[in-house]
């Protein structure tokens, strides 16, 4: 397999769960703790793929071979870690739709799979990359995809732990902005290899905050909120603009939009009141004809009129920029009608510029409206929704 082979990150499918177990076993067996016996507790954790998928998310990095059943044949080096790596490799030879190159799970605080998370935090667990696929950025891409998944939940932070001897993982998480913290029962002194055992691997605990504001929660819309978001969005646009029937129908079409794309809401953290909304595409797709490869587009940014002045539109726009960064995209683009001057001021304040070469006119009834286009480059440094 060449180093340039592309991969896609998506949710694991049920028929891939055995391969996820095998890949996780292999990643552990070829890591810094691979010489240790596997405890019953870890065996149960690794095997519970269906439970992790039901309560949270199990993501996989899949090689771009969507049309072929591939039989995996790994060349496991060394002494095969007492045969466990060989056993994991044999399990990975089962035919699957596209070769699995890596996997990661995200679980909630109330899950049996969680060790650190409290409250509404999300916990990243069991990040593993196939040995022959290491060095291609797959682990980083999986960690960023898990961070995006946590954003969809409205989680205030992602927490995780990694062994004190797992220096590769420590460098990855710290490069992504995770900070060490001391949790209840955390080890205070680093272990030595001689003292380690699978039952008492000492860990370093990490936390990555996802919220910049204590008063606001941004997450995906829930099914029972679809009508409320449609009403909120219509109020927002009717407040300042004269709407055609076609545009009105598009604004209130929240349910079909949520099925095909992502509809986000900003809610007051104290009361739960919905304050604003925006729509973005799912990973690997677009939401309008405007976007080109390497770009993320968004539509229908709306703030309920009583909530204006609270920075809701800015927070939702920054979310779109953060999603583009997490997906490794280069730019964010969007269209805006020439009459939407308030939105134009917001975009200018955030650093967007006009994309004049992609602007065009649309006709609504007897009116001709210029459809402006805006763009901003996506920063690829350590995450910061507020930066």
Answer for the pair 312, 218: CB distance below 8 angstroms, yes or no.
no
Q: Give, to the nearest 10 degrees, the angle between helix 138-153 and helix 312-326.
A: 150
Backbone angles phi, psi at 74, to 5 degrees: -90, 145
160-195 per-position pLDDT tens digit: 999 999 999 999 999 999 999 987 644 444 444 444
- The confidence score (pLDDT) of residue 64 equals 77
CA dist 264 and 170 (Å) reads: 32
CA dist 159 and 121 (Å) reads: 7
CATH class of the region 216-377 = alpha beta
Backbone angles phi, psi at 76, to 5 degrees: -90, 120
Could you tell me which of 299, 253, 259 has the C-alpha nearest to residue 277?
299
324-365 per-position pLDDT tens digit: 999 999 999 999 998 899 999 999 999 999 999 999 988 876
Domain with CATH 3.40.630.30 in the chain: 7-186+202-209, 216-377
CA dist 198 and 179 (Å) reads: 25
Q: What 8-state DSSP symbol labels residue 352?
A: -
The β-bridge relationship of strands 216-220 and 179-181 is unpaired
- The confidence score (pLDDT) of residue 200 equals 65
- The confidence score (pLDDT) of residue 197 equals 43
Answer for the pair 66, 96: CB distance below 8 angstroms, yes or no.
no
Could you tell me which of 156, 167, 155, 162 has the C-alpha nearest to residue 186?
162
Could you tell me which of 99, 95, 116 has the C-alpha nearest to residue 107?
116
Question: Positive or negative CA dihedral for 85, 89, 283, 375?
Answer: positive
Q: Which has the minimum average pLDDT: 12-16, 74-78, 239-243, 292-296?
A: 74-78
CATH architecture under which domain 7-186+202-209 falls: 3-Layer(aba) Sandwich (3.40)
Q: Record the tokens describing residue 355, joined without a space.
A: 């994309």
Strands (E), 64-99: 69-70, 96-97
Q: Give, to the nearest 10 degrees, the angle between helix 17-29 and helix 84-92.
A: 150
25-80 per-position pLDDT tens digit: 999 999 999 999 999 999 999 999 999 999 999 999 999 754 443 333 333 333 44
């Amino acid at each position: 397999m060449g180093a340039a082979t592309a991969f896609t990150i998506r949710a694991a499918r049920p028929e891939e769960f055995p391969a996820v177990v095998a890949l996780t076993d292999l990643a552990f067996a070829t890591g810094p703790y691979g010489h240790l016996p596997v405890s019953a507790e870890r065996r149960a954790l690794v095997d519970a793929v269906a439970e992790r998928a039901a309560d949270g998310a199990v993501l996989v990095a899949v090689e771009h071979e969507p049309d072929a059943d591939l039989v995996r044949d790994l060349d496991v080096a060394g002494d095969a870690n007492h045969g466990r790596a060989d056993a994991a490799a044999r399990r990975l030879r089962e035919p699957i739709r596209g070769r699995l190159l890596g996997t990661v799970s995200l679980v909630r605080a109330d899950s049996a799979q969680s060790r650190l998370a409290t409250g509404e935090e999300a916990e990243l667990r069991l990040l593993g990359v196939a040995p022959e696929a290491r060095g291609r950025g797959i682990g980083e891409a999986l960690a960023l995809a898990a961070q995006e998944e946590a954003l969809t939940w409205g989680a205030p932070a992602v927490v995780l732990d990694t062994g004190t001897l797992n220096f590769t993982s420590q460098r990855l998480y710290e490069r992504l902005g995770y900070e060490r913290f001391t949790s209840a029962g955390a080890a205070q002194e680093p272990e030595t290899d001689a003292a380690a055992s699978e039952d008492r691997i000492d860990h370093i605990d990490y936390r990555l905050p996802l919220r910049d504001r204590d008063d606001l929660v941004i997450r995906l819309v829930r099914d029972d909120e679809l009508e409320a978001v449609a009403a909120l969005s219509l109020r927002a646009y009717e407040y300042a603009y004269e709407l055609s029937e076609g545009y009105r129908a598009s604004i209130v079409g929240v349910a079909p939009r949520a099925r095909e794309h992502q509809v986000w809401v900003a809610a007051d953290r104290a009361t739960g009141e919905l304050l604003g909304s925006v729509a973005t595409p799912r990973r690997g797709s677009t939401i309008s004809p405007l976007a080109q490869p390497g770009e993320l587009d968004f539509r229908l940014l709306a703030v309920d009129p009583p909530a204006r002045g609270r920075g809701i539109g800015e927070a939702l726009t920054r979310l779109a920029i953060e999603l583009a960064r997490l997906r490794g995209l280069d730019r964010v683009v969007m269209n805006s009608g020439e009459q939407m001057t308030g939105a134009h001021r917001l975009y200018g304040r955030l650093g967007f510029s006009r994309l004049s070469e992609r602007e065009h006119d649309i006709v609504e009834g007897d009116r001709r409206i210029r459809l402006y286009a805006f763009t901003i480059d996506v920063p690829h440094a350590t995450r910061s929704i507020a930066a």
